[in-house]
Amino acid sequence: MKLLPLHPQPKKGEILSSWMVRLALENRFHLHTFYSKLLGCKHPIWTRDVDRSATADLIHLLSECSSCSATKIEATTLRHYDGYMYEDVRTHGVARWIVPLGIYHRLHRNGMQCCPLCLKEEVPYYKLKWRTSFFTLCEKHRCFLIDECPNCKAIVEYHRLGIGKHMDVRSSELHLCSHCYFNLSETPPVYPPRLPESIVQEYRNTLKQFENDSWSRTLTFPTTHPLAFFHGLRGLLMLVNKRACVELRKNINASVPLNLPLEKDWSPEFGYLTIRERFNLLMACFWLMHDWPHRFVTILKMSKLSRSRFAEDVAQFPFWLQQPLNQYLDQRHYIPSPEEVNSVVDYLKSKGIPVSAPSVAKVLGIGRDFARTFNSHWNNRN
C-alpha cells in the first residue's frame, strides 16, 4: 500500500474512527469507497465497533498509507485504557466503562459523546476518552458533554457524514450533525449544578488524570491504583443503581440534591444511561466515598443494606470495597461449633456465672434466640 497523497496524523487524544473519517474526507473520498475499494479492507469496518476491535491488519494498513506508527494508531483505540479502566476491552459482551454506541435503551439511543466547546477548536475531532461512560463532563470547559444534535435530536455519528445528498463534507467539518448538518459546536454549553463538598471538582480532577495518563496520588480516594478504583467504583454504581435500593437513593437524595429516581424500574446498566443519569450516579458515588468507609457504612446501615444485599459474591470486588463490607456490613449468622459452645459453658461455670441463653449469647456475640437453639449443651450437662 502506497502512502496517501494527503495523510493528516491523529490529533492529541483522537479516537481511531474520528481519524479514519478525517483521512477519507481529506482525500475527497466517500468513507466506504475509501476503505473497501481504495485501501482494499476485506472486513466490514463501520458495522462494527472499530474503536474497540480494530484488527492488526487494519492498523498495519493504516500505518502504511499514513506513515503513522502502528503503536501510535493502537493508542487511538479503546485498548489504550487496558489495565487502567478495565483489564481487556476486547472481552465479549458489553465492555465495562464503554458507551455502547447506537444501542436503544428505553427512549434513549447512545451516540458519540463530545464537548461542543472542544469541537470549536481549530480542526474539530473526537476524543478517545469521550467513548468511556465515566466521562460526562469536559474537564477543560466544565460543561456537560452532548451525544445528540440539539437541532434535530439525531445522535452524534460522524462516520455517517458525507453519505447521501451532502457528499461534499470536508475533513475539517466533523463538527456537523450527520443528519441535519447543524454545527454541533454551536450547541449552548450546559453546566453542572453546585454540589456539596466539591464533589464536581473532585470528579473533574479525576477526569484530568486521563489527559496526563497518570493517576495522581493526591486524589483522596480509597485506593491509589486506577484499575482497583474503577473496579470498585463499578461495584458502587451497581449498588446505587440497583432496582431494590430505593431506600439508599432516598437517603442520598436527602443529603445531595441529585434527585436520583425512586421508582423500582430504575435501569440496571450504567453504560446505557443518558449523560445526566450517569453524572448523577457518579456524583452519588463520589459523595459516598468521602471519609471512606464511615459515610458509606452509615448510609448502608440506614438503608438496611447488608453485605449480602450488596452482592452475592463480594470477593469479586477489590480489597478497598470488600473490607468495609466484610468488617461492618456482614450480617450472616456466625454458627459456633459444639466444642465452642461446650467451652463457653465450662468457662461460665468456672466463673460461677449461671449458664443460660443470655449469658452464652453474650460470650459468643450471637443473638439470645439463636443461643437458645444450643440449650441441649448445658441442659444435658447439668
Min. distance of Cβ 204 from Zn ion in angstroms?
11
Min. distance of Cβ 145 from Zn ion in angstroms?
8
Residue closer to Zn ion (CB basis): 158 or 296: 158
What mask, x for binding Zn ion by CB under 5 A, covers residues 159 to 198? ------------------x-xx-x----------------
Torsions phi, psi for 44 (to 5 deg): -65, 140
Residues 86-115 that bind Zn ion (CB under 5 A): 115
Block residue for cell numbers 468507609: 293
- Contact between 4 and Zn ion per CB under 5 A: no
Can you tell me which of 6, 94, 103, 152 binds Zn ion, judged by CB under 5 A? 152
User: Residues 172, 124: contact at Cβ < 8 Å?
Assistant: yes
Min. distance of Cβ 188 from Zn ion in angstroms?
14
Can you tell me which of 118, 236, 260, 273 binds Zn ion, judged by CB under 5 A? 118
- Using H for helix, E for strand and C for coil, what is the string for 36-73? HHHCCCCCCCCCCCHHHHCCHHHHHHHHHHHCCCHHHH
C-alpha cell at 199: 464533589
Rounded to whole angstroms, how far apart are CA atoms 83 and 174?
A: 30
Min. distance of Cβ 262 from Zn ion in angstroms?
33
Burial label for 172, CB within 10 Å (0-12, 13-18, 19+), is: middle
User: Residues 366, 337: contact at Cβ < 8 Å?
Assistant: no
Q: Cis peptide before 293, with omega less than 30 degrees from 0?
A: yes
- Give, to the nearest 10 degrees, the angle between helix 275-288 and helix 294-302: 110
Can you tell me which of 27, 53, 151, 255 binds Zn ion, judged by CB under 5 A? 151
Q: How many residues bind Zn ion (CB under 5 A)?
A: 14
* Cα–Cα nearest to 17, from 227, 172, 159: 159
Residue closer to Zn ion (CB basis): 192 or 336: 192
Residues 238-277 that bind Zn ion (CB under 5 A): none
Residue closer to Zn ion (CB basis): 208 or 295: 208
The torsion defined by the Cα of 368, 374, 376 and 378, in degrees rounded to 10, comes to -70
Min. distance of Cβ 139 from Zn ion in angstroms?
8
C-alpha cell at 82: 487496558
Residues 328-367 that bind Zn ion (CB under 5 A): none
Min. distance of Cβ 152 from Zn ion in angstroms?
3
Residue closer to Zn ion (CB basis): 28 or 140: 140
- DSSP string covering 147-190, please? -B-TTT--B--GGGTT-TT-----TT-TTB-TTT--BGGGSPP-
Residue closer to Zn ion (CB basis): 31 or 177: 177
Residue closer to Zn ion (CB basis): 179 or 249: 179
Rounded to whole angstroms, how far apart are CA atoms 229 and 234?
A: 9
Angle at 304 between CA 294 and CA 243, to 5 degrees: 105
Can you tell me which of 38, 75, 117, 227 binds Zn ion, judged by CB under 5 A? 117
Residue closer to Zn ion (CB basis): 38 or 154: 154
Can you tell me which of 78, 149, 273, 284 binds Zn ion, judged by CB under 5 A? 149
Min. distance of Cβ 153 from Zn ion in angstroms?
7
What mask, x for binding Zn ion by CB under 5 A, covers residues 129 to 148? ---------x-xx-------
Under DSSP, is residue 307 helix (H, G, I), strand (E, B) or coil? helix
Min. distance of Cβ 111 from Zn ion in angstroms?
11
Min. distance of Cβ 160 from Zn ion in angstroms?
11
Binding region for Zn ion (CB under 5 A)? 115, 117-118, 138, 140-141, 149, 151-152, 154, 177, 179-180, 182
